[in-house]
Amino acid sequence: MYNIIIQNFIKGMIYLATLIDYKSFSPILQEYASYKLAIQGCSQKTVDEYMLDLRTFFRFVIATKQNIDPNSEDFLNIDIHIIDLEFIKSIKTEDVYSFLMYTGTTRKNMWSAKARKLSAIKTLYKYLVNKRCLMDNNPVANIESPKPKKTLPKVLTLEESLSLLNAVKNDKESKTTVRDYTIITLFLNCGMRVSELTGINLSDIDSQMRSLRVIGKGSKERIIYLNSACISALSEYIEIRKNSKYEKLNERALFLSKQYKRISVKTVQWLVYKYLDMAGLESKHYSVHKLRHTAATLMYQSGEVDVRVLKDILGHEQLNTTQIYTHVSDAQMENAMEQNPLSKIKK
């Protein structure tokens, strides 16, 4: 079961990697992508997702005009290189509403996917209207984003977190156990993103190993302070790193692959899936990002961390993003029920 999951995961990553061909986009869309990257400082991943969403949107508009079935193979072969300024100007508000309806009913997109697609469309028109002054009318200006579905973040319990750490410690076959244990420890204690972890350099660690620097979303820097568990794991890993072939390569990255290069996001995702499976947690569909959720939830519920402090630890822009971790646990609710003065009254 584990091998099948990993194989499908790798296939999916390879498939996504082949989707982005910026030459297939028209010059006006390529210009927009460059603006998002160079001026707004968005990550390549964010821009790629926006461009994929725009490609789907414009294909839908063309398909609607030419009576092409959106579920057919012909839909996937629609050439969007023809999308010029005049075509974009011709799009009406109702076209966007029809597209959002299509994404929800036919493509079964959840609110978050629909919101991102609408955001991609909105930012394109905002760029053309406000930044480039190429258009006077913005057909999407008054379209509201889909309301988020309020769901609690999926997290590991304290016991499951310990099981995961023990799974790494007890892995006798791996030659990278110390490295992998350090990675899992940082995820569960610091709540960093996978891109932040893979981007850490040796020089980002404080000389006294009290903190480290990470680059978050939008290339924003923040300092993460290290607790005893992180310091212990990092110290052991760095000591091994210094006394190995790694040190002779003059590689800046903290975490290295078996090829002595900076560890990739895909490799980290793979090893997390591996140890989740070894800990018997695979069936619960956890992921790397769920470890970030776990760290935040454990800090808030067990450590009584103020939500504003938690916001800075996680690198959130808005406080309401952090407030998803302030949900009440089952144990807290059970305890609250016991506090009722009538709870001991029996017949």
Q: Give catalytic residue positions.
A: 193, 217, 289, 292, 316, 325
The SS3 assignment for 256 reads strand
272/286 Cα distance (integer angstroms): 9
**CA-wise closest residue to 81 among 155, 23, 142:** 23
Which tokens is 133 given? 């002054």
**CA-wise closest residue to 298 among 275, 325, 280:** 325
Q: Specify the amino acid at residue 66.
A: Q
Backbone angles phi, psi at 214, to 5 degrees: -125, 155
Which tokens is 174 given? 């791996």
Check if the beta carbon of residue 9 is closer than 8 Å to that of residue 270. Answer: yes
Contacts of 336 (CB under 8 A, 6+ apart): none
Helix axes 288-303, 307-314, angle to 10 degrees: 150
113/230 Cα distance (integer angstroms): 35
Contacts of 310 (CB under 8 A, 6+ apart): 296, 299, 300, 322, 325
**CA-wise closest residue to 312 among 329, 299, 328:** 299
Please count the other Cβ atoms lying within 10 Å of the Cβ belonging to residue 137. Answer: 10
